[in-house]
């Protein structure tokens, strides 16, 4: 304990990101849901032709080129879009703009661990509601809390399941606070929540270029909502949260939907193959609409397998968390990576 910090900060643990091995190491990295394919080749041209002299200027504070490209790709007006330094920043903007010590933030568990960290930083009340076994959304409990902010990740991590759009619509109708639909994995899913965003002023969809667009390293995400909702978020945003290079890269990536869809299709094919291979080894595998799989090993010895794979240079994710102790989250890699993983696991479960 020090007295440097606010009580909330002293009390918090801090977010623990997935391990990032050194570049060039021969690790097979299936722990952070990164895309196994490189970003759009159009980005190479952007970097090669970038006017470096222009870097002496501050960047465009609302990243107009990037927003226009999003607008065009998703057929949403540009003033319905706010961009962030990763979608994590947009999630944080919502918390910053909407919470205080009397206001609640609620979400179903298990879900993206960062929500807890973001709320812990603020003087806000955190309410976590357990998902049932079958991952049906606990609508009544969520509504009863009446949060200033309700987070729903769909598709969800680490379960990989999708929340039906009728459930999102019902929540939007019955909540007076902000409903955040975190659609980080939407590029690998069937359907999305955009119709709900268009219909309700209290709903924001938050998306990232880290997963579908293979750009985790550049930190780009965005939110889509009615301009009335974005107004408050713009007030609490750092003025220059997107640098000029990222803005140009983001615009190029969004303009190349064909390439993104092509890679997502390959991931979906590998997802089906990996799921089948793991089932053959006796794993329970949850249906996934993402680029990862939640699995339960036949002997339930998830932590052991996680550690053994690590010794063999394969990183996957293990959460020491209630309900997840006997499960593993495995990112769908490229074909060869998945093959090495399955071979290693088959040696370990026998």
Ligand X SMILES: *Cc1c(COP(=O)(O)O)cnc(C)c1O
- In the complex, the residues that contact ligand X under the rule CB under 6 A are 33, 86-88, 112, 153, 157, 182, 184, 208, 210-211, 216, 221
- Name the minimum Å distance from CB 301 to ligand X: 25
- Name the minimum Å distance from CB 87 to ligand X: 4
**H or E segment and range at residue 174:** helix 165-174
Nearer to ligand X, 216 or 253 (CB): 216
Nearer to ligand X, 162 or 344 (CB): 162
- Name the minimum Å distance from CB 156 to ligand X: 7
Angstrom distance (rounded) from CA 346 to CA 81: 46
Nearer to ligand X, 221 or 277 (CB): 221
Contacts with 21 (C-beta within 8 Å, 6 or more apart), sequence order? 27, 29, 315
Nearer to ligand X, 129 or 340 (CB): 129
Q: Per DSSP, what are the bridge partners of residue 150?
A: 106, 179
Q: Per DSSP, what are the bridge partners of residue 334?
A: none
Cβ–Cβ < 8 Å for 223, 204: yes
| Unique residue bearing structure tokens 């107004």 | 231
- Name the minimum Å distance from CB 52 to ligand X: 26
Nearer to ligand X, 29 or 345 (CB): 29
Query: Would residue 201 be called left, alpha or beta, if left means φ above 0 and alpha means ψ between -120 and 50 degrees?
Result: alpha
| Unique residue bearing structure tokens 């994590």 | 88
Q: What is the DSSP letter of 317?
A: B
Angstrom distance (rounded) from CA 263 to CA 274: 16
- Name the minimum Å distance from CB 209 to ligand X: 7
Whether the CA torsion 261, 265, 270, 272 is positive or negative: it is positive
Q: At what angle do helices 257-280 and 335-349 cross, to 10 degrees?
A: 20
Nearer to ligand X, 183 or 256 (CB): 183
Nearer to ligand X, 210 or 345 (CB): 210
- Name the minimum Å distance from CB 237 to ligand X: 15
Nearer to ligand X, 86 or 108 (CB): 86
- Name the minimum Å distance from CB 194 to ligand X: 17
Cβ–Cβ < 8 Å for 192, 186: yes
- Name the minimum Å distance from CB 2 to ligand X: 29
Among candidate residues 317, 40, 70, 278, the one with its CA nearest the CA of residue 183: 70
| Unique residue bearing structure tokens 């094919």 | 269
- Name the minimum Å distance from CB 332 to ligand X: 14
Nearer to ligand X, 97 or 344 (CB): 97
Cβ–Cβ < 8 Å for 38, 216: no
Element counts in the chain: helices (H) and strands (E) = 13, 12
What strands, in cross-sheet order, belong to the sheet with 104-109? Answer: 81-84, 221-224, 203-208, 178-182, 149-153, 104-109, 125-130
């Amino acid at each position: 304990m020090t007295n440097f910090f606010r009580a909330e900060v002293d009390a918090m643990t801090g977010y623990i990101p997935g391990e990032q091995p050194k570049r060039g190491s021969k690790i097979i990295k299936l722990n952070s849901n990164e895309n196994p394919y490189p970003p759009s080749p159009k980005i190479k041209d952007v970097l090669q032709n970038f006017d470096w002299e222009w870097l002496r200027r501050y960047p465009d504070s609302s990243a107009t080129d990037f927003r226009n490209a999003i607008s065009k790709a998703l057929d949403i007006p540009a003033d319905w879009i706010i961009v962030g330094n990763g979608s994590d920043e947009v999630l944080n903007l919502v918390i910053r703009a909407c919470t205080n010590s009397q206001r609640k933030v609620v979400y179903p568990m298990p879900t993206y661990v960062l929500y807890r960290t973001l709320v812990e930083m603020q003087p806000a009340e955190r309410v976590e509601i357990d998902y049932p076994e079958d991952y049906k959304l606990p609508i009544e409990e969520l509504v009863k809390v009446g949060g200033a902010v309700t987070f729903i990740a769909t598709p969800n991590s680490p379960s990989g399941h999708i929340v039906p759009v009728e459930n999102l619509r019902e929540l939007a109708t019955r909540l007076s606070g902000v409903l955040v639909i975190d659609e980080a994995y939407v590029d690998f899913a069937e359907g999305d929540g955009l119709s709900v965003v268009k219909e309700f002023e209290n709903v924001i969809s938050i998306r990232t270029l880290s997963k579908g667009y293979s750009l985790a390293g550049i930190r780009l995400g965005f939110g889509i909502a009615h301009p009335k909702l974005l107004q408050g978020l713009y007030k609490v945003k750092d003025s220059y949260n997107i640098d000029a290079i990222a803005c140009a890269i983001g615009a190029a990536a969004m303009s190349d939907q064909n390439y993104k869809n092509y890679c997502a299709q390959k991931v979906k094919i590998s997802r089906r193959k990996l799921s089948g291979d793991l089932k053959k080894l006796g794993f329970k595998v949850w249906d996934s609409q993402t680029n990862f799989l939640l699995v339960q090993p036949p002997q339930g010895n998830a932590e052991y397998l996680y550690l053994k794979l690590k010794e063999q240079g394969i990183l996957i994710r293990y959460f020491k968390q209630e309900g997840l102790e006997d499960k593993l989250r495995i990112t769908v890699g490229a074909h060869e990576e998945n093959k090495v993983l399955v071979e290693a696991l088959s040696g370990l479960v026998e």
